[in-house]
Amino acid sequence: MDLSDFEADNSVSCRLSSSTPDVCKTEDCCLGIDEAGRGPVLGPMVYGICFCPVSRKEDLKNLKVADSKTLTEAERENLFLKIDEAKDFVGWALQILSPNTISTSMLQRAKYNLNALSHDAAIGLVQYALDCGVQLKEVFVDTVGPAEKYQEKLSQRFPGVEVTVRPKADSLFPIVSAASICAKVARDHAVKSWKFAEDLGEVDRDYGSGYPNDPKTKSWLLKFLEPVFGYPQFVRFSWSTAQTLMDSKAVAVHWDDDEEDGEKTAARQNNTSMLSYFSRSKPSELAHTRDTHRFFTERKLQSINTL
């Protein structure tokens, strides 16, 4: 699987897709939706769709697709190749949600939780299939949140399409199994070949499964926690696991806000207020010159005294 478009800038999300089979533009089609990497603290979450004509469901089933979680990595790779080679009647598309996108979305002022992010990714992929000319009749989805509400939401968004939302849909419907395989293969490739934008030196890639309860993952998180700037963009810093480690191991930062005067709070905590960096006369402890951290030089940021 070629992820070069995503690897060119893995700080943002990316959509990848196969070509759309001509038969999918003329015959009624079914489409399955599933994701990979919802729970891990490391790496992207990938949403996948797979679609084929309703009349070719048995042909898809004959590819021996199954829930990706029940397959070995080698089996998933082999099945993805079969799906991709069946391009005369099968199409697929992926939305790769970068860890940075996930974290910044969840921590923005107007809360945008993982369920909403997942729903929007799924809706975007269905709309993409329609925009490509796929003649959709049936959509099968592995549920995120309450199945009935999610099904109602999708049915209202896509009138005229028969929507079925079920728990464990990847083990019930072959078209969802195929989507699951595409998503899982893409995530595996993205994690294995992750290009770190940060200068971390020799990176230990033995980070386990990426799930918060994995000892290898916990060890990796401890090893690559930068005390001032936190984690590389490979880490979903909105996850409680990462936040807990930053709270206990990283340098404490006070952010001036409206709840308490920033200058008074900083003085009480024996810290320097963020506002002091923008004052006309800097406090004595900031007066001496020192080398600027690479975070600022790389972004061509400079201190200013007036606005």
pLDDT digits (tens, 9 = 90+) for 180-229: 999 999 999 999 989 988 888 788 888 888 888 899 999 999 988 888 88
Q: Give me the DSSP letters along 127-194.
A: HHHHHTT--EEEEEEE-SS-HHHHHHHHHHHSTTSEEEEETTHHHH-HHHHHHHHHHHHHHHHHHHT-
For residue 106, the model assigns a pLDDT of 87
Give the model's pLDDT for residue 285.
53
The full 3-state SS of 45-110, as one line of letters, equals: EEEEEEEEEHHHHHHHHCCCCCCHHHCCHHHHHHHHHHHHHCCCCCEEEEEEECHHHHHHHHHCCC
Residue 54 is predicted with a pLDDT of 96
Residue ranges of the annotated binding site for a divalent metal cation are 34-35, 142
How many other CB atoms are found less than 10 A from the CB of residue 98?
Answer: 22
- Which pLDDT value is given to residue 82? 94
Residue positions forming the annotated binding site: 34-35, 142
CA distance 150 to 240: 26
Is domain 3-193 given the CATH code 3.30.420.10 in the classification? yes
Highest mean pLDDT: which range of 55-69, 129-143, 241-255: 129-143
**Residue 96 near residue 46, CB atoms below 8 Å:** yes
pLDDT at 205: 84
Q: How many angstroms separate the first and last alpha carbons of the chain?
A: 49
User: For 73-93, what is the mean pLDDT?
Assistant: 93
What is this structure's pTM? 0.79
- Amino acid at residue number 146: P
pLDDT bucket at 289, cuts 50 / 70 / 90: low
Q: Which residue has the higher pLDDT, 132 or 296?
A: 132
Would you give the DSSP letter of residue 21?
P
Report how far residue 79's alpha carbon sits from residue 247's, in angstroms, rounded to the nearest whole number.
43
pLDDT in tens, 28-79: 999 999 999 999 999 999 999 999 999 999 999 888 887 667 788 899 999 9
- Position 145 scores a pLDDT of 81
Q: What is the predicted pLDDT for the residue at 178? A: 94
As a whole number of angstroms, the distance between CA 46 and CA 125 comes to: 11
